[in-house]
Every structure is written in C-alpha cells, then in structure tokens.
Amino acid sequence: MNWPYRRFKIAALFAFLSFYLYTLATAFRGEDAALIWLLFGSPSLVILFLPRRALSVARGLALGQTLVFGIITGFSVFLGVAGWLASGANGLMLAETAVVLIAQTALFFAAVRVPPELNGLHDRSSRIAWCTTAVTVSSLVLTMMRIEDISRHEMTPDAVYRVVACAEGYADHRNGEYPESLQAMVQAAREWSSPNCIYPFDTSGHSEYGPVYGRVLYMPVRSADGHIVGYSILFGPRTFFGNLRTAEYINQTGMVHKSRNHAIATASDPVKENVSTSLTEWSKCFVKYRQTHPGVAFPRELSEMLSSDWPCKPHRDIEGDHLIPDNSYTVYYKSRSEAKPGDPSTFSLQARPNLYRESGVRSYYVDEDGIIRGTVKNRPATKNDSPVPICEWDVGTTCRSD
C-alpha cells in the first residue's frame, strides 16, 4: 500500500523538476524564469511536503496542475511536431515541452490511481480533492493571465510623456511650482485638461488595463524654502508582484535616461537617443559650410538642398517645408530671410514632437552658432532657451548629475 503513495510523490517531484524545462521553452530568463518555475510548479512542490492525511488535497493539486499544463503542453507538442516535420526547426524546444507533457501525464495517472483505501471516491475526501482541483485550476489560469500581461506590454517613454506634460501644465498654472504627488497633479489638472491627464496610469502610479502594464514612481524635489522646484520619475514594467526591478528615469527636463544592466536608472545615466542627435549632425554640416564658404547664400527652401552642389542634404524625404525623421518628430528649416535678414548664410532648424505629450515633450532649436537648445514646454524652442547637455545628443555619453 505504500508504493502508490510513493509513486505519487515521485511523480510530483518529476513534474516539479520538469517545469525548469518548461521555462527554457519560454522567453523568460534569469530571475523571471526562476519565478515562473516556482509559480507553475508550486502545486507539485506542495504535494511533496503534504502528509498522508492531506492526500485528498494533494490529489486535487495534482489534478488541477495536470489539467492546465497537460492541455497547454499537449497542444504545444502537437504544433511543435507539425512545425518540426515541416521545417525541422525547434527540435530542442519540442523535446523540452514533450518532457513536461510526460511528467504531467505521469502525475495525473499517479493521482487518479490512488487506491480507494487511501482516498475513497465517494466520501468527503473526494469532495475535498475536487474543490482543491477547481481552486488550483483557477489560481494557475489567473497566474498565467498576469504573466501574459507582464510579457505582452513593453514600457516605452511615450507612456510617461503624459505625466511630464501634465506636470508642466500644473507648473504653468501654479507659478512654476510642480505638484507634490500624482494625485495632486490629476486633481488640479481637471481645471484645464482631461479627467485623467496621466492615463494610462492612475494616481497610485500603476497601470493594469491600459496599453501598458507598468508603474511610475513620482518623487518631488524641494528647494531650501520648501517649494517644489522639480521632480523625478522612475518608470518601467511591473514585476509579477507589482514592483519596479528595472526602470528608466525622467525629470522636469523631459530627457529620458536609459536603464543600464536592467537596473534602476539615474540622472547620470546616458539619455535615450532622440531627434537631437540627427539635428546636431545636420547643423554641424551647416556651420562648417558657413565657415568654409563665407557670404554664400543658404538654400531658401528645403527642396533646394537636393541640388548636387549643396553638401548638407537632409537624411529623410522632404515633405513641403519640413522633414519627418521618424514617427515622433517633425523638423523645420528657416532660410536667411526668415532667420536673420541681411546675412545670406544664416539658418535655423527646429524640431517639434508630432503630438506633444504623446510622441514627445522636448522641442529643439539650432542656428548658425551651432548650439542645440531645448525646452520641455508645449511650444517651439527658440534661441532664448537653454542649451541641451552634451549627453542628450551625444549617444552613450554619461550625464553630469549636478
């Protein structure tokens, strides 16, 4: 009578270990893979430690786990075999999934073949087993849905641009002072903006049902006299338990600092590449041409730059009076008559987000002095705006944290 019980325990151990192979067949690696292994294999792990008097609960855990993953791995094996026969690819992944299917099948039969003397089919222990099965199936399905949400939605800067734009709107209506919290920001923004200007996030900084599954952490910066003169925001995808393990950084400047080595980014980390890099490269060509050809008139329109004798050709197709280097920004060129009358070799370039608070929050300006200037305000940048730091347009350069 001990052998069926031991067989059940051995099958549970085999099933738990097989989930390690299951994680290899997914896109999860490192800590995420270990978490998936524990979450999916937890019923088998619990079975190993349950005493014999809780055998009905153990059977329910086994049946619930094998029903869920038997169906999933069985379908995966079917598709894998079809793909393998057609192209010969993914043979290793197919083998890994097949081992998991075999382990789940073994656990299933070990659970249902427990003798009636140990666990009757028509007594109270049977009802406990089926209730445990239902709870296990529900828990595993909900866990898989949450993991799917985490893996499906990538956290990109455009998700946090709304928060930055909302903070700027708050400052414009509060004499330059920024909000103390996301809740204060949203409440005040109802005077001039939509009910939730930080969508897809709520006032707690979480997002679960919008286009992203992530989190923002808003932290105000106070001056010596107590006024809130700035802020910093950490944003990134949420872990299974809702925390931030890796995050990018943005503050009131609107510059996004990249996370290095999947860590928490800071103001000293490099800035994510944006249109200021191509704008700098293009303007340097203009400035160099002006130095080597003094007094030579610059093109009056963008279309004239396509002539063979003009060296600083645009890197993107011209659309009327502007360029669209990517889906986020539009670049405008102004000639001598518009930039600075009386000097034929003057120019200015401006870059604006295609849709402020959606595709970006930074605007840029550069002219014949070669200095890139920027602003986070919802307006074109001008010569009066502050120069952007070198680390914004020089990709990979570490920023000064001061």
CA–CA distance, 107 with 95 (Å, rounded to integer): 19
Same domain, 120 and 173: no
Specify whether 168 is located in the same domain as 124. no
Cβ-based neighbours of 19, under 8 Å, separated by 6 or more: 36, 37, 40, 41, 44, 100
In a domain, 402, yes or no: no
Cβ neighbors of 63 (< 8 A, separation 6 or more) are 108, 111, 112, 129, 132, 133, 136
Owning domain of residue 45: 2-152
Look at residue 269 and tell me if it is in a domain.
no
Q: Which two tokens stand for residue 246?
A: 């890796």
Distance (Å, whole) CA 143 – CA 148: 9
Q: Are 291 and 352 within one domain?
A: yes
Identify which of 17, 19, 47 has the alpha carbon closest to the alpha carbon of residue 132.
47
Cα–Cα distance for residue pair 239/262, rounded to 1 Å: 13
CA pair distance 237, 240, nearest whole angstrom: 10
Residue ending a domain, choose from 134, 152, 170: 152
- Is 6 in the same domain as 143? yes
Q: Looking at the structure, do residues 145 and 163 belong to the same domain, yes or no? A: no
pLDDT 10s digit of each residue in the chain, 402 long?
578 888 989 999 988 888 777 666 555 555 667 777 777 888 999 989 988 888 888 888 988 888 888 777 666 655 554 454 444 555 556 677 778 788 888 888 888 887 756 554 445 567 788 888 888 888 888 887 777 666 655 677 888 999 999 999 999 999 999 999 999 999 988 887 766 788 888 888 887 655 566 889 999 999 999 999 999 999 988 776 667 778 899 999 999 999 887 789 999 999 999 999 999 999 999 889 888 888 788 888 888 888 878 888 887 778 877 888 888 899 998 876 554 555 556 788 999 999 999 999 999 999 988 999 999 999 999 999 999 999 999 988 999 765
Is 401 contained in some domain? no
| 399 touches 269 (CB < 8 A) | yes
Query: Is residue 236 a contact partner of residue 214, using CB atoms and an 8 Å limit?
Result: yes
Same domain membership, residue 117 and residue 9:
yes
Are 139 and 8 within one domain? yes
In the listed set 152, 186, 219, which residue is the last one of a domain according to the structure? Answer: 152
Our count of domains for the chain comes to 3
Contact 279, 351 (CB under 8 A): yes
Q: Residues 20, 145: one domain?
A: yes
- Nearest residue to 136 (alpha-carbon basis) of 108, 159, 115: 108
End of a domain among 120, 152, 184?
152
Residue 127 belongs to a domain: yes
Residues 192 and 327 in one domain: no
Residue 399 lies in a domain: no
Structure-block tokens of residue 389: 């730091």
Could you tell me if residue 384 is inside a domain? yes
305 DSSP 8-state letter: G
Same domain, 20 and 57: yes
Query: Contact at 8 Å (CB) between 167 and 252?
Result: yes
Based on the fold, state whether residues 82 and 169 are members of the same structural domain.
no
Q: Residue 235: CB partners within 8 Å, gap ≥ 6?
A: 155, 157, 159, 160, 214, 215, 216, 217, 247, 248, 250
State whether 138 and 168 are in the same domain. Answer: no
Q: Is residue 126 part of a domain?
A: yes
Instruction: Give the global pTM.
Output: 0.72
Q: Is residue 266 part of a domain?
A: no
Domain at 384, CATH number = 3.30.540
- pLDDT attached to residue 82: 45
The string of DSSP codes covering 263-297 is SB--TTSPBPP-HHHHHHHHHHHHHHHHHHSTTPP
